[in-house]
Chains A and B, each alone.
Chain A
Amino acid sequence: MAGLAASFGSGAMSNSMDDVAQQAKAFFIIGSNTTEQHPVFGTMLRRAVKFRGAKLVVADPRRIDITEFATLHLQQKPGTDIALLNGLMYIILEKGWEDKAFIEERCENFDEFKATVMNYPPEKASEITGVPVERLYEAAEIIAQNKPTAVMWAMGITQHISGVRNVMDLANFQMLLGNMGKPGGGVNPLRGQNNVQGACDMGGLPNVYPAYQPVTNEEVREKFVKAWGAASPTKVGAVVTEMMPGILEGRTHALYILGEDPVMSDPDTHHIRKALEVIDFLVLQEIFPSETAAYADVLLPGVSFAEKTGTFTNTERRVQMVRKAIPTQGDARDDWWITAEIAKRVISEQLSVISEQSRKIDMDAPWAKWDYKDTSAIMDEINALTPSYSGITHARLEKGERLQWPCPTKDHPGTPILHTKAFSRGKGRFMPIDHVPPAEEPTEDYPMVLSTGRVLYHWHGGQMTRRAAGLMAVYGEALVELNPEDAARLGLNGNKRVRVTSRRGHIEAEAWVTDRVPPGMVYANFHFPEASANELTLAALDPVSKIPEYKVAAVKVELTK
């Protein structure tokens, strides 16, 4: 998101899934296992390829399922996306396939960008990526000759130390081809979780208030001081991958965690466990006793989506109703109620013990209070303080209106495509981007590359899907994908369990011998605590987004004894 914000001024999927699926002449999927991670969108793309004849270029180190439908599959080495993109853009410029009018009218900084791309002739790009030169030419031709092309990506692009730069290079790519601001084109980062878009939109980030209003902006802070009646913190906060190490470094003393499971989902599990063991106070609001619950001091039972009413925002900025279908289980409570109760009680603590340290909140400020009747009342407050959501109310959604933000007023129809006339920042900015090698490359001791991710049948840390009987029947334990060549070299014959070791830890799991992964690469998931890939991953972070490099770690693979 940070990458798109730099290039265009706002970071979100620019187009809608149906316009991409129905109007793109070509798709370029890079770093998204679409059919397993966004299955229903994946089937829309399959339909477009099979029945509409859309072209599909997939760039992925693994032979993921969607490659079956690909016109061309580029199997670049993990962590070489920039070299690949620059190589393709070199060819586009060499052939004169760039959209000169679009670049001239809508963009800036082209010359500086071009100078960088000129350092990536196809031969060099091929050497870095391992993709043959002729495949690069084929891919560039398919993409440039079948416009509009929609680019889709996910964590395969962002979970690198170069994640933000990868994204900016994709923005370059789409500006170069003039694929921005039109149906069937655009930059389309597919958001993983059901409401990760909404969590970002609602200010669940350390640098922005709701609707990406920067915490460093004086005017914005003033607005929230007035609304909430309390002084605004001035400096950008810590991201999760800083909070956790902060525990061991004496910076973080308490954590309030809502529905997250850092032991499963954060990099370098061993380190996370060490940190949570020594934290002064951890309050966890959850529906299951997760792996993280073992470290909690207080455990507050929230509810599942079937027990709550409110809204989720999907990957294409579409805000949709979630409706309560069953009563709250046991003595659990709505998550919004719990948060509001904590807030009210902290405020009353602050009022009861007047000291130098206690925080002063003016409860007469227009939105200072925490007395919400229901989530619709919370939405009223969101409307007032979140410009892109100002016009989105439960009442409109219940009437059947279909709204994608930005939706600034109560009669605004919503915005299916961003950047149609101008970019949020005015001109789209070309960024000169150079290849950065991954933080950890294979060595003699750790000769293989590990990449991590999820599988179709499970979800993230697995708290929900490991408790779904049918899903467990189909995919009941962690499998490590291993190429047949490597399996033969290891002497994997009958005995199918392997031990994968990185500098951080090791896991033992059954090997799935398959050419989905190329020789020298293994792929593991983090759904099962007994063999979670995050025991192995490293917390090397992108310097801007602080995203960990989940997609490249050096490991060795051995047979279990």
Chain B
Amino acid sequence: MVNITINGQKIEAQNGQTILDVARSHGLDIPTLCYHKDLSPTGNCRMCVVEVKGGRFLSAACVTSVWEGMEIETHSEKVVKDRKLTLELMLANHPQDCITCDVSGECELQDLAYEYQASAPSWGSKGTLYPVDSDPNPFIRVDMNRCILCRRCVLACGEIQVRDVWGVAKRGFEEVIVAGAGTSMLEARCESCGQCVAYCPTGALSNKMNYGMARAHQVKKVTTTCSYCGVGCQFDLLVKNNKVIGVQSNPDAPVNGMALCVKGRYGYDYIHHPDRLVKPRVRRYLLEGKNKSDIREAIFDNRKSNNESSNIGSPWDWVETDWDTALNITARKLDGTRNTFGADSIGVLTSAKCLNEENYLMNKLARQVLGTNNIDHCARL
């Protein structure tokens, strides 16, 4: 236990805690950019500097441990001036294109610039140095002009995904984040999990699939559970105009935190695929009251012509119907089969992709309504 003072407030802290840990756990604000609680602190952006009494320089709160009797000022005049200058230096190396930037509104640099009223200094900006949208990865949009060299992407890839795709090349003004040894991301063995995008505080790394489609304040976020594997990751679906336009990490997800895989984060566009079935369909023979056994030849012909209704009027053609028609035919057929061949002549395949509640009903349908235990799903497959 150590006793420290922050902004005149006496606080008991644990040994080994950083100033930032202590401040945040007491609801005291210290701004950060390169720091993220999931990643190793590097202390490189200098946003979290604070004044420690007796210190020769300002100290980075994210990497400075507390000691007995430490006296800290988080917003002294000197600190605020220093932070503002740091922001101005960053903005000098950052395009002034917030007006068209995808992450405007959830950009941590923008928020801090606003808070500290910092803008690009009159002595200029270095302008566009790198190609925009420079990587062929189909999911991740790279614009290194917007990069502030915080290294969160490097750490997210190295410490969360443990793939080490991103690294830092060159020094000084030329310092830049690169994939592999300056290759494309996929060549550097990127798994396209998008962790780097999730942790990027600016628009340097963003999502290609919904670039330009909506900003943070224009979407509704709905927290849900992924529909791919059994890990059970949770995330937020981003919805605009009743369409899912993206997936975003939700830090409170019980299993996965911010982490997702390529399918979970980027495999959502099937939801609005034009192939989606949106009307019940029945084969024409069912509407004409025919027996399937009498139309075998037509089915065969139809299959030969690749299942498309090229021969108009085939009894095996699909016909779109209303729900009542389709459901009544289904019920009549199932009940008829049961009465003719017995309940065990019917098989029910339920779905490992559907809800518990839906699976429960399939089990009830088989056992209560049809009277068979012939129910299974793809657990074995």
Contacts and interface: CB of A to CB of B under 8 A. Distances in A.
Given A465-B270, A471-B266, A308 B277 contact: no
Nearest to A368: B368
B254 A402 contact: yes
Interface in A215-272: 215, 224, 228-233, 235-241, 243, 246, 251-260, 262, 265-267
A294 B283 CA distance: 11
Contact of A204 (B192, B228, B375): B375
Given A300-B326, A470-B209, A311 B355 contact: yes
Interface stretch (B12-20, B87-95, B198-206, B334-342): B334-342
A493 interface: no
Contacts of A299: 277, 280-282, 318
B379 interface: yes
Interface in B173-225: 186, 191-193, 208-209, 220, 222-225
Interface in B118-164: 138-139, 159-162
Contacts of B208: 470
Contacts of A224: 367-368
A294 B364 CA distance: 27
A238 B231 contact: no
B233 A40 contact: yes
A181 interface: no
Contact of B231 (A38, A229, A357): A38
Interface stretch (B42-50, B74-82, B107-115, B345-353): B345-353
B277 to A, nearest CB: 4
Interface in A45-101: 46-47, 50-51, 69
A277 to B, nearest CB: 8
A240 B226 contact: no
A269 B268 CA distance: 28
Contacts, number: 484
Contacts of B369: 230, 343, 346-347, 359, 361
Contacts of B243: 326
B338 A357 contact: yes
B85 interface: no
Nearest 5 CB-CB pairings of A with B: A330-B278, A314-B232, A237-B373, A345-B331, A39-B261
A174 B328 CA distance: 53
A350 interface: yes
A288 B232 contact: no
Contacts of A294: 303, 307
Interface in B254-295: 254-256, 259-264, 266-273, 275-283, 286, 292-293
Contacts of B339: 355, 357-358
Interface stretch (A115-123, A436-444, A456-464, A552-560): A456-464
Contact of B262 (A39, A340, A386): A39
Interface in B288-317: 292-293, 299, 303, 307
B245 to A, nearest CB: 10
DSSP majority for the A interface? mixed
A502 B117 CA distance: 70
A43 interface: yes
B101 interface: no
14 contacts: A38-B230, A196-B379, A203-B359, A235-B373, A239-B380, A260-B350, A301-B276, A345-B331, A389-B356, A402-B254, A459-B263, A463-B270, A468-B266, A545-B380
B361 interface: yes
A342 B330 contact: yes
Given A315-B230, A335-B358, 20 more contacts: A17-B231, A18-B255, A158-B380, A193-B230, A193-B378, A194-B353, A195-B356, A202-B356, A230-B371, A240-B380, A253-B346, A255-B349, A260-B377, A305-B225, A323-B223, A326-B244, A331-B280, A349-B331, A361-B368, A460-B378
Contact of A346 (B237, B299, B370): B370
B56 interface: no
B372 to A, nearest CB: 5
Given A46-B162, A47-B159, A468-B268, A236 B229 contact: no
A399 B102 CA distance: 33
A240 B345 contact: no
A327 B220 CA distance: 13
Interface residues of A, number: 157
A546 interface: yes
A465 B273 CA distance: 11
B97 interface: no
Given A233-B367, A315-B231, A194 B352 contact: yes
A424 interface: no
A378 B365 contact: no
Interface string A505-527: 00000000000000000000000
B2 interface: no
Contact of B347 (A47, A238, A302): A238
Interface in A279-326: 280-281, 283, 286-289, 294, 297-302, 304-308, 310-316, 318-326
Contact of B292 (A193, A280, A465): A280
A394 to B, nearest CB: 9
A389 B358 CA distance: 15
Given A40-B233, A254-B346, A304-B271, A50 B334 contact: no
B349 A335 contact: no
Interface stretch (A23-31, A206-214, A427-435, A484-492): A206-214
A266 B381 CA distance: 6
Contact of A457 (B242, B256, B262): B262
B255 A198 contact: no
A197 interface: yes
Contacts of B362: 202, 204, 258, 339
A297 B254 contact: no
Interface residues of B, number: 119
Contact of A233 (B262, B334, B371): B371
A364 interface: no
A367 to B, nearest CB: 8
B376 interface: yes
B29 interface: no
A330 to B, nearest CB: 2
A267 B381 CA distance: 8
B329 interface: yes
A387 interface: no
A446 interface: no
A306 B331 contact: no
Contact of B334 (A210, A281, A471, A547): A281
Contacts of A69: 162
Nearest to B359: A202
B367 A232 contact: yes
A546 B338 contact: no
B229 A192 contact: yes
B332 interface: yes
Contacts of B59: none
B224 A204 contact: no
A395 interface: no
B373 A206 contact: yes
A336 B230 contact: no
Contact of A335 (B161, B225, B354, B377): B354
B32 interface: no
B355 A322 contact: yes
Contacts of A381: 360
Nearest to A246: B347
B290 to A, nearest CB: 11
B283 A297 contact: yes
A382 interface: yes
Nearest to A253: B345
B256 to A, nearest CB: 5
Contact of B229 (A39, A311, A348, A375): A39
B180 to A, nearest CB: 16
